[in-house]
Structure 1
Amino acid sequence: MDANFVRLPVFLAVFAIMALLEAWLPARQAPLNRWLRWRGNLLLLVTGALAGRLVLPATLIGVALWAQDAGIGLFHLFDVPGWVVMAVSILLLDLAIYWQHRLFHRIPWLWRLHQVHHADSHVDTTTGLRFHPFEIVVSLFIKGSVIVLLGAPVLAVVIFEVALNAFSLFNHTNIRLPQKWDDRLAYLFITQRLHRIHHSQYARETNTNFGFSVSWWDRLFNSYRSRAQQTDETLDIGQREYPPTADNASVFRLLAMPFTRAHAKHR
């Protein structure tokens, strides 16, 4: 099964819808020209995709197929109904991504990679695609290890990857829901406003709302924050060390960022 036959059309559709929504009803004004930001962010997406293919040509689907054929993984040890295996696999993969995200904030060398994502001076649809290639590679190994450990079915991996992409685009979109609807939706999902808190310049806020999709992991592990100190309209986003300039938005700067001295200490 080639996940790209499912993943790519869904990605393009969600990206188009979210980009149109934020162009029509933007929640915040970007401090930098859109072309400068989008060019760097999208070029970083391309380099990350190439790095992922280079390091893991078989993709995560190939990893799941290999584990399935070899009978490796916890689910191969028990006689469990298929629908239970599917549901639990997706749930545990999402939990793994939650903890992966927390580790990228906690461990200094991982934060250097992840800071490329947080150094964006604005949060919009393309921010959900802005990850350093080395972070993509580390994430692939983590997800691949979880897939092998569980013996997660191929279909569960496809569904999870498609959902992960879609939610990342969704919760980075530069829109604002009415507060009452935002609060209701936040009982289950990470909304755009909640995720902007995660992109705050203040560590006490950045180190909250780690979920990419559902909000219950943050509630369960005490990392949920429903309000920032500032309003959503005035929230300071990005990293102070990387002000909104054309140079800081270039793909060359983004690729070099983890290896330069001007990186923030993150506690």
Structure 2
Amino acid sequence: MVEQAMVIAIASFMIAFILASLVEYWVHRIMHWYPQGAGARHLDHHRRNEGQGVVWEFLDYIKGTILVMVPMFLVSLPVGLGWFLGALAFAAFSAYAHQLQHENPLKCFWMKMPVHYVHHKYGQWNHNFGLAVDWWDHVFGTYKATDWIDEMELSRPQKGYTELRWF
């Protein structure tokens, strides 16, 4: 019984993590369709080209997803716990990845190209919508490979994975 509950919780975690990445992709893409309305704050983000800090990004992501994080507890405790933790883990990973791409994109080892950084650097309004992962850009045909490592990138002082703005 405990083993079955653990398998259910792990499966729920993985589904929530993957689904959260899909939602993030589409929310970002939709903000580009309506930059003056729903995407006004996002438009300002493009003008400033900086993250808010990992903690503030995380809190924004949680505010946007709390309504879909909790109801799965109505299905069962293992489903609810796995789902909640999967969504929470993705929000934390995405907040970190977003800030890292703005401050130290060479450290994004899990992607061939830091899509969010390239999206900003080259004004790719119709490409590279992923923040934490590039999966959905590949799936939906919005991935645009770009030769992004130039002299500016190579001359940046290399910082560690935790040396970024947290607040």
Shift of 1:104: 1.4
The reply on whether 1:195 has 2:116 as its aligned counterpart is yes
2:14 alignment partner in structure 1: 87
Distance 2:92 2:17 in 1: 14
2:131 alignment partner in structure 1: 212
The letter of the residue matching 1:186 is M
Aligned partner of 2:38 among 101, 107, 110: 110
Shift of 1:212: 2.3
Distance 2:69 2:131 in 1: 17
Aligned partner of 2:110 among 170, 178, 185: 185
Shift of 1:196: 1.5
Do the aligned partners of 2:12 and 2:82 also contact (CA within 8 Å) in 1?
no
Distance 1:228 1:219 in 2: 17
Q: Deviations over 1:52-103 (max 9, x none)?
A: xxxxxxxxxxxxxxxxxxxxxxxxxxxxx50323322221122112111111
TM-score normalized by the length of structure 1: 0.41
Distance 1:99 1:232 in 2: 33
Aligned-residue Cα RMSD (Å) equals 3.8
Distance 1:175 1:114 in 2: 21
Distance 1:97 1:177 in 2: 22
Do the aligned partners of 2:127 and 2:144 also contact (CA within 8 Å) in 1?
yes
Distance 2:151 2:105 in 1: 9
1:9 alignment partner in structure 2: none
Matched residue count: 138
Identity rate of aligned residues, in percent?
Answer: 18
Structure-2 change in CA distance of 1:158 and 1:149 (3 Å): closer
Distance 2:85 2:138 in 1: 26
Structure-2 change in CA distance of 1:115 and 1:99 (3 Å): same
Shift of 1:211: 1.6
The letter of the residue matching 2:140 is F
Structure-2 change in CA distance of 1:148 and 1:96 (3 Å): farther
Match of 1:214, SS state, is: coil
Structure-2 change in CA distance of 1:97 and 1:87 (3 Å): same
Structure-2 change in CA distance of 1:210 and 1:227 (3 Å): same
Bigger radius of gyration among the two: 1
Do the aligned partners of 1:116 and 1:130 also contact (CA within 8 Å) in 2?
no
TM-score normalized by the length of structure 2: 0.60
Aligned partner of 1:164 among 91, 95, 119: 91
